[in-house]
Amino acid sequence: MRNCKGYVYLEMIAAFSVCLFLVLAILPILEELLTHRKDIAVRTEAHHLLYERLTAFMEGEIQAVGQEIIYKKRSYELVWKDHGDFPGMIEGCVRYEDESGNLESICDAAKK
């Protein structure tokens, strides 16, 4: 080794600090990304259930009665109400709890 004079340890500590900072900065972003990824799957299931029920209602297969739906071990609440702005329309809403515990709601309207 040529004339290092103790700077190796200082450089090693600085490099370790930079690596540690990068890891600690990336971990929260990664955790949020994984949570949003799970939320997208739950939201997609809620959309699927809503449009399945709206289609069944328009075809006369089901009545506009609120119900709780258990799908893949998750609870979804289907709520029907008259659409105030458009007569002759009914609004169906699916309420569910996302991965972070917040209540979310997806609504759409169909002809009576």
Residue 94 phi/psi, 5-degree rounding, is -110, 125
pTM above 0.75, yes or no: no
Neighbour-count burial of 54, counting CB atoms closer than 10 A to its CB (0-12 exposed, 13-18 middle, 19+ buried): buried
Total domains, the chain: 1
- Within-domain flag for 56: yes
- Within-domain flag for 85: yes
- Beta bridge partners, 18, equal none
- Digit-coded pLDDT (tens) for 24-72: 999 999 998 988 888 898 999 999 999 999 999 888 888 888 889 888 8
- Within-domain flag for 2: no
Structural domain boundaries enclosing 64: 7-111
- Beta bridge partners, 105, equal 95
- Within-domain flag for 1: no
